[in-house]
Amino acid sequence: MVIGGKKLFEEIDKPIGRKILSESLEETEIEASWTGELKGFNGFPDGKKVGSGNSVQGKNGVTISHWQGVFTTSDGQELLFKGRDMSKNNKFVVLRTYFTNSYKLTWMNGLICVLEGEFNPNTREFKSIGYEWV
């Protein structure tokens, strides 16, 4: 996939909680939480994040998720983030944006990133690469 923007980070996430909220013949709604680590590139900071959100998994194999959380840089700056993703066959694409009042990270306030990645069921890790969306 060609995103068009510069590479900003590589990310590895691990689930820490999962609960089925509802099930029907058409879909299953799931609440989940996770932690992650980011290795930054091109000025994007390294750090850790924690997030949670809901997913709707359709019987067609497509899952649509809405996430939010806190990203803490390695020097202690905090940013909020929100994201939306779609996944199928253990592959996923994410749109994510960041919110901050940090003067140092002003350039990240409203930054839109596109991530593409894959879930490894053996290690239970979500690995992705994030790009600046242009």
Residue spans of the domains in the chain: they are: 7-132
Residue 134 confidence (pLDDT) above 80: no
pTM, two decimal places: 0.91
Mean pLDDT, the chain, rounded, equals 96
Domain 7-132 classification at class level: mainly beta
- Do the beta carbons of residue 52 and residue 69 sit within 8 Å? yes
Digit-coded pLDDT (tens) for 12-59: 999 999 999 999 999 999 999 999 999 999 999 999 999 999 999 999
**pLDDT recorded at residue 113:** 97
Helix or strand or coil: residue 107? Answer: helix
Q: How many residues can be counted in the chain?
A: 134
Residue 99 confidence (pLDDT) above 80: yes
**pLDDT recorded at residue 5:** 87
